[in-house]
Amino acid sequence: MRKQKNQRMNQDPSGPGIAILATASTVLDRELARSLEEMIFETSEAALAAAGLAYDDLDSVVLSGQDEIDGRVISCMTSAGPAGGVDRDTTMIASSADHALIYGYLRMLAGQSRNVLVVGWAKPSESVDPDRAELMSAEPYLLRQIGMNDTLAAALQASRWASDADGSDGAAWPLNQDDLPARGDSVYAIVLAFGDDLGGRTPKAWILDAGWATLTYELGGRDLGELESLRLAVAQIEERSPATKRAGWNAVEIAAPSQPAVQAVIRQLGLQASTKVNPSGALHELRTSPHVAGLARMVAAIDDLEHGDASVTAAVGFQGFASQGASVMVFSAERSAA
Amino acid sequence: MNVGILGFGQSKSVKTRMDVTFAELVKEGADLTLADAGITMDQVDAVVYPLAPDALIGVGNGERVVVDALGAAGKPFMRVNNGGATGMSAVLAAWTHIASGMFDVVLVAGADRVSESGSAQSVLNKMWDVGYERTVPLNTITMLALSAQRYMHLYDSDEVDMARVTVKNRYHASLNPNSHLRELITTDEVLNSRTLAWPIKLGDACPASTAAAGVVMVSERYAKAHGLQPAWIRGIGQNTETYWMGDRVGPKALADHGDADALGVAFQRAYAQAGITDPRTQIDAAEIYAPFSSVELHVIEAAGLAGKGESPAALAENQFTLGGGGRTVVNPSGGVLTSNPIAVTGTIRVGEAANQVRGIAGGHQVPGARVAIASAIGGDHQFYSTMVLSADLEEL
């Protein structure tokens, strides 16, 4: 593959100056009192209020939902209004909610927007059958016939790192229930702004860079234990921003398909013992849904900059069965940290 | 940073394709696109995939299944879904990829097989909220029949005005070998066709098409470094309207369902970037998204090619017809009314507009075209995308 370039970032050692003004999240086991649209409205309003902005200050909104989980044929239709999208540029990035934040970042780098609101969600409790929605993501000729879903794919992947001595509590060998991500209803909203146009506001964090890559769909076409998508995503960042070294990451939030996959990420990234991993909670402690799990960890990585002594944090998200795709974003407390 | 359309590929729109799987159809579109651009996937930095409702292909997150068909494995890859505007919103997202400075060459390629999805209108009915408007029952035909009725009421228009749109676009499609509906049709034949939802008749409606399409987009620095002459994107715009049909009628309406004012705003955003101050004298070709004949009337007006309520009279004078003597030819390819593979319909609008200013549109080439516009509509007439293209960066 020909080398990718980012002249803008290479010319500016302090980074591109894209700030996270505010984040807001709504995370519940099961929301019965509010509709998905009400959750999106309230979370978006909370993010804007925290940023000190009004809807009129926004010029674009980036959305991300998953039609089958939402039970809506084009889920951005009902969600655009509650997220403040009416009368402005609205785009839904449907491949994953972490891609939506990356796309919001690209819009800022492109100079397309002064402020971008990114909203990602999943409310599986409103879905008729979330397990069946996952099954629908299996191609219909082979994988759907054998009942493939995210849990089985995670187990297949984990079997690459397992030994015969490993047991299972019945989740799916070699995984135990606590190895799997907890499921729940969640909405996340993030406000991005130019560093030179903050109007006296203090940002929560700065984006240093982002990388993302997707591999073959076929489970038999890749070594599920290798996490090649993650390697490629990190390589993009390190090629563009050599100063953003993994050794400098104080905390890493990882939205892996399973706890053994979290350990595999740690090994592949070569994280030091001093690097905190998932300080916001283990997989089974943070309620989420596969579509928004990566974005949830990105918000957590941003929050980690405020709650601890970290100055640089990173987040890892995965998409598809057994880490077909991976996303990585690196955040800093200071604009010049890179 | 300037961004250009280096290549455009599309398969012929047809009702069904039994000779290929969905992934093979996607590959066909990608291969045609790369061939037109004169590059291989090795030179592509990132891929943006347009796919509207998953339900139309029957696979959730269907973008993941076609990564191999696209040749995108190992590359940055993301999917856009803005309903019917998806094919063009994906092009705008690819513009963003390049304008960010991260990438020089981005591929947008995809496919759809609408007629093979069971009942497309049953699927599209599920776009509306479960508690209210879904039960009306709204679908894309009934929703836009309401819009057509409103337009007729506002501007004293009639079904003949709508039929003239179809007659024009079928003539253009007869010149375009990739169009789905290429047979010429008369005004009377449209008027006598079966009513779907009054005033929309079968002759006023787009087909459910199967096709693949894509574009290759490049940065200015890449084009200069390789001595390339793409069609240049001079302005882009998007805008969003209220979701609720009920908010488009009555004394408290946020928008009028008979007009396309939010699309007009999107056009103005693109025109401001491009330096278009008088669309009626500066645009040679318009590839505008109009899946029903009635929609083209108010989209022409939203684009500023005619005043509100004035497009029927201009159509009656053949002002938007190839060879008709007007300044701007509208939908020289035949438009959405003659081919609608939903996920890539917007991509085709951009590609056709690019081919016009590249001077390679073939039988439906607008002679001497230098400036073209494209637009797309998604959701329930809700998401709007627009673009201005020119033959070179000195134009406009």
For every residue of B216-284, DSSP letters joined together read EEEEHHHHHHTT--PEEEEEEEEEE--S-GGGGSSTT-SS-TTS-HHHHHHHHHHHHHHT-S-HHHH-S
Vertex B146: Cα angle to B142 and B152 (nearest 5): 135
Interface membership of B362 toward A (CB under 8 Å): no
Vertex B59: Cα angle to A190 and A86 (nearest 5): 35
Closest residue, chain A, to B65 (C-alpha): A217
Torsion of CA A285, A291, A296, A299, to 10 degrees: 170
Query: Which H or E element spans position A3?
Result: none
Mean pLDDT of chain B: 96
Closest residue, chain B, to A2 (C-alpha): B43
Nearest to A74 among B60, B79, B127 (CB): B127
Helix (H, G, I), strand (E, B) or coil at A116: strand
Is the model's pLDDT at B104 over the cut of 80? yes
Is the model's pLDDT at B241 over the cut of 90? yes
CB A21 within 8 A of CB A306: no
Nearest to A7 among B42, B82, B101 (CB): B101
Average of per-residue pLDDT across B288-304: 98
Nearest to A6 among B59, B61, B102 (CB): B102
**Do A72 and B127 lie within an 8 Å CB cutoff?**
yes
Nearest to B83 among A7, A74, A216 (CB): A74
Is the model's pLDDT at B146 over the cut of 90? yes
Average of per-residue pLDDT across B109-120: 86
Interface membership of B76 toward A (CB under 8 Å): yes
Interface membership of A117 toward B (CB under 8 Å): no
**Do B53 and A74 lie within an 8 Å CB cutoff?**
yes
Question: pLDDT at position B115, please?
Answer: 79
List all residues of chain B from 294 to 353 with a beta carbon under 8 Å from chain A. Answer: none
pLDDT digits (tens, 9 = 90+) for A254-305: 999 999 999 999 999 999 999 999 999 999 999 999 999 999 999 999 999 9
| pLDDT in 10s for each residue of chain A, 338 residues | 333 444 333 334 455 699 999 999 999 999 999 999 999 999 999 999 999 999 999 999 999 999 999 888 899 999 999 999 999 999 999 999 999 999 999 999 999 999 999 999 999 998 878 888 899 999 999 999 999 999 999 999 999 999 988 888 889 999 999 999 999 999 999 999 999 889 899 999 999 999 999 999 999 999 999 999 999 999 999 999 888 889 999 999 999 999 999 999 999 999 999 999 999 999 999 999 999 999 999 999 999 998 878 999 999 999 999 999 999 999 999 986 54
What number of C-beta contacts closer than 8 Å exist between A and B?
A: 197
Is the model's pLDDT at B119 over the cut of 90? no
Residue B160 CB-density burial (10 A; 0-12 exposed, 13-18 middle, 19+ buried): middle
Residue A35 CB-density burial (10 A; 0-12 exposed, 13-18 middle, 19+ buried): middle
User: For residues B109 and B35, what is the distance between their CA atoms, to the nearest angstrom?
Assistant: 13
Question: pLDDT at position A47, please?
Answer: 98
Is the model's pLDDT at B272 over the cut of 70? yes
From chain B, pick out residues whose CB is under 8 angstroms from the CB of A86. Answer: 240-242, 254
Question: pLDDT at position B128, please?
Answer: 86
Nearest to B67 among A7, A134, A217 (CB): A217
Interface membership of A93 toward B (CB under 8 Å): yes
Average of per-residue pLDDT across B292-314: 98
Question: pLDDT at position A16, please?
Answer: 65
Residue with tokens 């169009």: B179
Nearest to A73 among B1, B73, B123 (CB): B123
Nearest to B42 among A2, A109, A217 (CB): A2
Is the model's pLDDT at B137 over the cut of 80? yes
Distance from CA of A246 to the nearest CA of B (A): 20
User: For residues A170 and A217, what is the distance between their CA atoms, to the nearest angstrom?
Assistant: 27
Q: Which residues pair with B187 in a beta bridge?
A: none
Phi/psi at B189 (5° precision): -65, -40
Nearest residue to B365 (alpha-carbon basis) of B303, B284, B299, B274 = B284
Q: Which residues contact A192 (CB under 8 A, 6 or more apart)?
A: A18, A19, A20, A21, A104, A105, A108, A113, A115, A116, A117, A118, A207
Query: Is omega for the bond preceding B367 within 30 degrees of 0, making it cis?
Result: no
Burial annotation A73-97 (CB, 10 A radius, 16+ → b, else e): bbbbbbbbbbbbbbbbbbbbbbbbb
Closest residue, chain A, to B88 (C-alpha): A91
**Do A73 and B43 lie within an 8 Å CB cutoff?**
no
**Do A213 and B77 lie within an 8 Å CB cutoff?**
yes
What number of residues does chain A have? 338
Interface membership of A335 toward B (CB under 8 Å): no
List all residues of chain A from 62 to 91 with a beta carbon under 8 Å from chain B. Answer: 66-68, 71-74, 76-78, 80-81, 85-91
Phi/psi at A117 (5° precision): -105, 125
Interface membership of B101 toward A (CB under 8 Å): yes
Token pair belonging to A56: 């009129």
B106: left (phi over 0), alpha (psi -120 to 50) or beta: beta
Closest residue, chain B, to A73 (C-alpha): B127
Query: Which H or E element spans position A154?
Result: helix A150-159
What number of residues does chain B have? 396
User: For residues B249 and B147, what is the distance between their CA atoms, to the nearest angstrom?
Assistant: 10
Token pair belonging to B20: 């290929």
Compute the half-sphere exposure of residue A309: CA atoms within 13 Å on the CB side of its CA. Answer: 2
Per-residue CA distances from A331 to A65, A187, B351 (Å): 24, 21, 38
